[in-house]
C-alpha cells in the first residue's frame, strides 16, 4: 500500500472513527464539548492526512489506487472498495477536510448556545458527514461513489433537520431528501446501465454513443439534484433552515459540489456524449442566470447566498458542459473557499443580530470589522474582482463557454456575473454599511477566536487560492496558464459595474427598489417552480396515487380478501373433520397406512 493512498485512507477513517465512537458511546456524545473535540481532532487528522496525500502526489505525480474486492461471488467481485489518490481526488480531499475543519471550529462558537446533548449530536453528524464525503471523494469507482453520495444525502437530511422541533426545518429536511432522492434514481439507473454495458463501475469505460448519452444523462440527473440545478434547485433555499455552518459546509462548499465532482470524476464518460454536454451547458447557464435573478430579491442573507450557490454551481456545470473539466473543477475549488467564507461570515452576523434579514442589519462593518472585512473579501471574490480567487476561475469558465451554442450561454453567464456583483453589493451595502436598523445591529460585537479564526483563514485562502490554478491543473494533468484577455476584462468590468450599480442603488441607505427588481421580486414571490411541483404533485401524483390506492384496495385487496373468505369458509367446513377425539385421528392415520401399504403391494 503506497504512502499516498494510506494517507487518504487515514483521511477517510479518522472521522469515521470519531463518528463510530460518538455513535457507540451516547454518554460521551451527550457531554457535548468532548464530543466536539473528538470530532475536530478527527477532522484535523483527516486534513493532515489529506495534505500529506496531496503533497505526496505533488511529489510523485502518479495516481495511486488501493482497493479490495467487494461483494465477491463465484470468484468475481462486483466492485472494489478502496481509495484512489489522483489530481482530482487529492485536492478535493484537502478542500473538503479544510473547509470541514474550519466549519467545525467555527461551530464551536456558533453552536455554543445549544444544549450539551444537541451540541454532541451536531458534531457526531459532522464527523459522519466528513467520513461520507471522503468516501465519495476518494472512491476508485462509481459504486463506492454512489455509496458516499447516499451517505452525504443522509447526513444532509440529518443536519438540515437538526432543529427537528422546528416544523420548517423538518419539512426542509424531508424536501431536500425527497428531491435529491428523486434525482439519485438517475444515478442508480445510470450505474446499472453502465454496469450492464461495460461490466464494471469504472469511469473509463468506452461506451456506444447511445449508451453513453443515456448513462451520462442519468448521471447528470443526479447532478441536477445534488448540485441544485434548475429545475431541482428548490430544496437548497429551504435547506437554509439548518444551522448556518452546516449551510457553509454542505450546502455551499462540499456536498452540493459533489455533483460537479461527479462530472469531473466521470469526465471520460461525459466526454463521450455531445448531447449530454449540451444539456449541461444549457442547464448550467439557465440555472446561473435564473438563480442570480432570484438572489437579487431575497431579503434573507442566507437565501441570497443559497441562490448564489445555485448560480455558481450553474457556472461550474456550464463549464463542464462546455468541455472544460478543469474550469469546472477550478471554480469548484475557489468557490468552496469563498462561499464557505461568506456563509460563515453571514453566520457570524446572524449570531450577532439574531436575524437573517438584511433589512435588520446595517452598519455592521464598523462594529464587526473582521467579519465585515471577511464578508467583503468573499463578496469581491464571488463578484470576480480581479486578483481574488473567483476572478481566475470565473474567467476560465467564461473563456470555456465563449462561442458555444451561439454564444447564448456566454451571454447568460456574463449577465450572471453582472447580477452576482450587484446582489452581493446589495447585501454588503445594506448589511454592513449605513445605519444600524435596530438595537441588535447597533450593539453587534465580534465573537471569540473560534469563530474569527476560520474567517481569517478562509479569507486568506479566498484571496490566494486563485494563484494556485496552474499547480492544480498540473496535478490533474491539465494545461492552464492565466493570461489576461478581453473576455476577462469584460467580465471584471461587468462585475465592477454591478458593484457600482449596487452602490448607486443601495449605497446611501435603503431606498425603493428599481422597477425591474420589483418585477423580479413579484415573479419570485409567485414561487413558480415550487408551484409547478406542487401542481404536479397534487394533480398528477396524488390523483394517480388515489387511483392506484382504489385499485389496491378493491381489486388487489379484494382478491386477497376473497382468498381469505374462501379459506375461512373452507376452514369452517374442514373444521368438522377435526373432532378433537383421538380415535378419529387414529382412524385417519390407519386409513392412510392401509392405503399406502396397499399401494406398495399393488405396485
**Cβ nearer to other proteins, comparing 555 with 587:** 587
The span of 121-129, 374-382, 472-480, 586-594 binding other proteins (CB under 8 A) equals 586-594
In whole angstroms, the minimum distance from the beta carbon of 565 to other proteins comes to 22
The span of 321-329, 340-348, 357-365, 590-598 binding other proteins (CB under 8 A) equals 590-598
What is each CA distance from 75 to 69, 70, 78, 191, 463, in whole angstroms? 10, 11, 10, 22, 52
The span of 91-99, 222-230, 557-565, 594-602 binding other proteins (CB under 8 A) equals 594-602
In whole angstroms, the minimum distance from the beta carbon of 600 to other proteins comes to 8
The span of 37-45, 349-357, 482-490, 583-591 binding other proteins (CB under 8 A) equals 583-591
The span of 62-70, 293-301, 489-497, 579-587 binding other proteins (CB under 8 A) equals 579-587
Q: Is 598 in the site for other proteins (CB under 8 A)?
A: yes
**Which residues, 319 to 348, sit near other proteins by CB under 8 A?**
none
Q: Is 587 in the site for other proteins (CB under 8 A)?
A: yes
| Dist CA 129 CA 108 (whole Å) | 17
Q: Is 574 in the site for other proteins (CB under 8 A)?
A: no
* Segment holding 248, helix H or strand E: helix 244-248
Any residues with CB less than 8 A from the CB of 370 and at least 6 apart, and which?
A: 446, 452, 455, 456
In whole angstroms, the minimum distance from the beta carbon of 571 to other proteins comes to 14
**Which residues, 245 to 264, sit near other proteins by CB under 8 A?**
none
Q: Quick one: which of 553, 522, 563 has its CA closest to 297?
A: 522
The span of 122-130, 304-312, 322-330, 584-592 binding other proteins (CB under 8 A) equals 584-592
Contact 2, 64 (CB under 8 A): yes
| Dist CA 579 CA 584 (whole Å) | 7
The span of 88-96, 360-368, 548-556, 595-603 binding other proteins (CB under 8 A) equals 595-603
In whole angstroms, the minimum distance from the beta carbon of 602 to other proteins comes to 9
Place of cell 473567483: 390
**Cβ nearer to other proteins, comparing 206 with 579:** 579
**Cβ nearer to other proteins, comparing 555 with 590:** 590
What is each CA distance from 433 to 135, 178, 383, 506, in whole angstroms? 43, 40, 18, 9
**Cβ nearer to other proteins, comparing 525 with 603:** 603
In whole angstroms, the minimum distance from the beta carbon of 568 to other proteins comes to 17
Q: How many residues bind other proteins (CB under 8 A)?
A: 17
Q: Quick one: which of 562, 549, 336, 552 has its CA closest to 458?
A: 336
CA-based torsion, 560, 566, 567, 572: positive or negative: positive
The span of 19-27, 399-407, 563-571, 578-586 binding other proteins (CB under 8 A) equals 578-586
Residues 71, 551, 570, 591: which binds other proteins (CB under 8 A)? 591
In whole angstroms, the minimum distance from the beta carbon of 189 to other proteins comes to 56
**Cβ nearer to other proteins, comparing 550 with 585:** 585
The span of 2-10, 301-309, 351-359, 588-596 binding other proteins (CB under 8 A) equals 588-596
**Cβ nearer to other proteins, comparing 407 with 579:** 579
**Cβ nearer to other proteins, comparing 504 with 593:** 593
Residues 24, 73, 516, 582: which binds other proteins (CB under 8 A)? 582
What is each CA distance from 410 to 243, 282, 315, 378, 475, in whole angstroms? 35, 10, 10, 24, 28
| Dist CA 493 CA 490 (whole Å) | 5
In whole angstroms, the minimum distance from the beta carbon of 22 to other proteins comes to 53
CA-based torsion, 19, 20, 23, 28: positive or negative: negative
Q: Is 580 in the site for other proteins (CB under 8 A)?
A: yes
| Dist CA 288 CA 331 (whole Å) | 13
Q: Is 577 in the site for other proteins (CB under 8 A)?
A: no
In whole angstroms, the minimum distance from the beta carbon of 588 to other proteins comes to 10
What is each CA distance from 243 to 160, 431, 508, in whole angstroms? 7, 20, 32
**Cβ nearer to other proteins, comparing 504 with 587:** 587
**Cβ nearer to other proteins, comparing 74 with 577:** 577
What is each CA distance from 181 to 130, 149, 485, 496, in whole angstroms? 20, 10, 42, 40
Q: Is 185 in the site for other proteins (CB under 8 A)?
A: no
Q: What's the CA angle centered on 218, arms 213 and 221, to 5 degrees? A: 125
In whole angstroms, the minimum distance from the beta carbon of 575 to other proteins comes to 9
Q: Quick one: which of 189, 394, 215, 388 has its CA closest to 311?
A: 394
Query: Residue 171 is placed in which grid cell?
Result: 419539512
**Cβ nearer to other proteins, comparing 445 with 576:** 576
Phi, psi of 186 (to 5 degrees): -60, -45
The span of 206-214, 260-268, 372-380, 582-590 binding other proteins (CB under 8 A) equals 582-590
In whole angstroms, the minimum distance from the beta carbon of 601 to other proteins comes to 5
Place of cell 446561473: 288
Any residues with CB less than 8 A from the CB of 320 and at least 6 apart, and which?
A: 260, 263, 264, 267, 270, 277, 280, 284, 327, 328
What is each CA distance from 312 to 86, 160, 291, 461, 466, in whole angstroms? 25, 21, 9, 18, 16
**Cβ nearer to other proteins, comparing 192 with 568:** 568
Q: Is 581 in the site for other proteins (CB under 8 A)?
A: yes
In whole angstroms, the minimum distance from the beta carbon of 574 to other proteins comes to 13
* Residue 380 exposure: Cα atoms within 13 Å on the Cβ side: 15
Under the rule (CB under 8 A), what is the footprint of other proteins? 578-584, 586-587, 590-591, 593-594, 597-598, 600-601
Amino acid at each position: 500500500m503506497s504512502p499516498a493512498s494510506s494517507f487518504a485512507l487515514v483521511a477517510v477513517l479518522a472521522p469515521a472513527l470519531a463518528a463510530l465512537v460518538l455513535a457507540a458511546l451516547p454518554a460521551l456524545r451527550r457531554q457535548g464539548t468532548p464530543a466536539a473535540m473528538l470530532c475536530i481532532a478527527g477532522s484535523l487528522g483527516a486534513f493532515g492526512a489529506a495534505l500529506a496525500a496531496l503533497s505526496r502526489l505533488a511529489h510523485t505525480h502518479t495516481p495511486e489506487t488501493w482497493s479490495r474486492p467487494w461483494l465477491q461471488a463465484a470468484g468475481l467481485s462486483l466492485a472494489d472498495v478502496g481509495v484512489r489518490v489522483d489530481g482530482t481526488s487529492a485536492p478535493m480531499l484537502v478542500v473538503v477536510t479544510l473547509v470541514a475543519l474550519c466549519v467545525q471550529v467555527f461551530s464551536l462558537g456558533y453552536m455554543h448556545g445549544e444544549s450539551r446533548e444537541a451540541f454532541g449530536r451536531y458534531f457526531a453528524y459532522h464527523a459522519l458527514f466528513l467520513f461520507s464525503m471522503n468516501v465519495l471523494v476518494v472512491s476508485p469507482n462509481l459504486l463506492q461513489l454512489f455509496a458516499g453520495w447516499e451517505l452525504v444525502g443522509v447526513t444532509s437530511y440529518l443536519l438540515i433537520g437538526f432543529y427537528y422541533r422546528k416544523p420548517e426545518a423538518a419539512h426542509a429536511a424531508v424536501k431536500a431528501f425527497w428531491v435529491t432522492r428523486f434525482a439519485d434514481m438517475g444515478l442508480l439507473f445510470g450505474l446499472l446501465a453502465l454496469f450492464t454495458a461495460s461490466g464494471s463501475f469504472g469511469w473509463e469505460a468506452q461506451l456506444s454513443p447511445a449508451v453513453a448519452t443515456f448513462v451520462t444523462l442519468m448521471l447528470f440527473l443526479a447532478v441536477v439534484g445534488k448540485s441544485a440545478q434548475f429545475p431541482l434547485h428548490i430544496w437548497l433555499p429551504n435547506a437554509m433552515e439548518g444551522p448556518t455552518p452546516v449551510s457553509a459546509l454542505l450546502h455551499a462548499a462540499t456536498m452540493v459540489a459533489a455533483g460537479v465532482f461527479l462530472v469531473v470524476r466521470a469526465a471520460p464518460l461525459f466526454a463521450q456524449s455531445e448531447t449530454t454536454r449540451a444539456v449541461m451547458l444549457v442547464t448550467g447557464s439557465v440555472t446561473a442566470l435564473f438563480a442570480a435573478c432570484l438572489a437579487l430579491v431575497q431579503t434573507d442573507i442566507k437565501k441570497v447566498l443559497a441562490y448564489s450557490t445555485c448560480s455558481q454551481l450553474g457556472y461550474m456545470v456550464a463549464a463542464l458542459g462546455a468541455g472544460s473539466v478543469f474550469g469546472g473543477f477550478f471554480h469548484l475549488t475557489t468557490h468552496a473557499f469563498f462561499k464557505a467564507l461568506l456563509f460563515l461570515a453571514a453566520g457570524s452576523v446572524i449570531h450577532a443580530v439574531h436575524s437573517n434579514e438584511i433589512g435588520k442589519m446595517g452598519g455592521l462593518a464598523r462594529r464587526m470589522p473582521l467579519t465585515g472585512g471577511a464578508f467583503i473579501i468573499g463578496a469581491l471574490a464571488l463578484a470576480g474582482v480581479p486578483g481574488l480567487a473567483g476572478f481566475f476561475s470565473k474567467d476560465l469558465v467564461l473563456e470555456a463557454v465563449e462561442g458555444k451554442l451561439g454564444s447564448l450561454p456566454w451571454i447568460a453567464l456574463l449577465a450572471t456575473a453582472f447580477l452576482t456583483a450587484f446582489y452581493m453589493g446589495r447585501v454588503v451595502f445594506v448589511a454592513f454599511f449605513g445605519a444600524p436598523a435596530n438595537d441588535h445591529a447597533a450593539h453587534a460585537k465580534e465573537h471569540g477566536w473560534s469563530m474569527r479564526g476560520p474567517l481569517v483563514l478562509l479569507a486568506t485562502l479566498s484571496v490566494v487560492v486563485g494563484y494556485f490554478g496552474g499547480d492544480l491543473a498540473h496535478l490533474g494533468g491539465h494545461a492552464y496558464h492565466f493570461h489576461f484577455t478581453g473576455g476577462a476584462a469584460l467580465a471584471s468590468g461587468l462585475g465592477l459595474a454591478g458593484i457600482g450599480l449596487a452602490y448607486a442603488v443601495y449605497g446611501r441607505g435603503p431606498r425603493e427598489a428599481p422597477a425591474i427588481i420589483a418585477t423580479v421580486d413579484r415573479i419570485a414571490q409567485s414561487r413558480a417552480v415550487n408551484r409547478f411541483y406542487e401542481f404536479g404533485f397534487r394533480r398528477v401524483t396524488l390523483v394517480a396515487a388515489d387511483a392506484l390506492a382504489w385499485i389496491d384496495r378493491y381489486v388487489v385487496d379484494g382478491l386477497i380478501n376473497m382468498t381469505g373468505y374462501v379459506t375461512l369458509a373452507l376452514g369452517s367446513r374442514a373444521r368438522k373433520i377435526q373432532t378433537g377425539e383421538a380415535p378419529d385421528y387414529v382412524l385417519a392415520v390407519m386409513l392412510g397406512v392401509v392405503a399406502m401399504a396397499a399401494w406398495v403391494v399393488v405396485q
